Amino acid sequence: EELIIATKNKGKAKEFEELFEPLGFRVKTLLDYPDAPDIEETGKTFEENALLKAVGISNIFQKIVIADDSGLVIDALDGRPGVYSARYAGTDKDDEANIQKVLFEMKDVPEEKRTAHFHCTLALVVPGKDPIIVEGTCNGLILTEKRGNNGFGYDPIFYLPHLKKTMAEITSEEKNRISHRGNAIRKLSEHVQEAMER
């Protein structure tokens, strides 16, 4: 009943804990295993990268592993930053620099064209079985400045019109209910339950 999430991202790790622990799983992430290797994300799609991370870590631990590859897809930027969301402004993962780069690239885009979505692909690898892939999305608009202090990554500039708030102005419970990651985890949870029973 231990689940290893192949992530070193603190924001993701917190959301996985909140979503899986009520279902009775003990959640471990790579933050609990600092010696786990860094898997290079060389894929061109969310799916390729999620698989690379899940298979790579599962091979080392020989346990059930879930990996998350996610990002922000902006229509006016032809889908960027997309799979490059974590390192959009450079090589080190710097949320603030990434946000500033997006705001700069979006500075002349009118309100009606500021549509975007968050995407999350999850790969579940059970040793000896075929991997399972699920996806979740969440639609919104890119603001012209930051609002709110919750969440992580691009949350402060991602506006949810139906809530009239950004993803950084809602609680993590609210975020988990509507987010790309929440939606993907709910799809995956039955598969995980089943994998555990074998």
**Catalytic residue annotation:** 69
Give the ranges where the chain is alpha helix by DSSP (H).
10-20, 46-61, 95-105, 172-178, 180-197
CA 152 to CA 93: how far, in whole Å?
12
Pairing of strands 65-74, 158-160: unpaired
Q: How far is the CB of 88 from ligand ITT (least distance, A)?
A: 7
CA 180 to CA 160: how far, in whole Å?
13
115 close to 139: Cβ distance less than 8 angstroms = yes
Instruction: Say if residue 180 carries a ligand binding annotation.
Output: yes
CA 156 to CA 51: how far, in whole Å?
28
Q: How far is the CB of 198 from ligand ITT (least distance, A)?
A: 26
By the rule CB under 6 A, 169 interacts with ligand ITT: no
By the rule CB under 6 A, 121 interacts with ligand ITT: no
In the list 56, 64, 65, 70, the residue contacting ligand ITT (rule: CB under 6 A) is 70
Stretch that binds ligand ITT, among 20-28, 107-115, 128-136, 149-157 (CB under 6 A): 149-157
CA 140 to CA 180: how far, in whole Å?
11
By the rule CB under 6 A, 28 interacts with ligand ITT: no
Instruction: Say if residue 155 carries a ligand binding annotation.
Output: yes
CA 59 to CA 185: how far, in whole Å?
22
Cβ proximity to ligand ITT: between 67 and 126 the closer is 67
By the rule CB under 6 A, 68 interacts with ligand ITT: yes
By the rule CB under 6 A, 152 interacts with ligand ITT: yes
- Which residue's structure tokens are 């012209």? 144
Binding site for ligand ITT (CB under 6 A): 7-9, 12, 41, 68-72, 85-86, 93, 98, 118, 151-155, 167, 179, 181
Q: Which residues are known binding-site members?
A: 7-12, 40, 69-70, 152-155, 175, 180-181
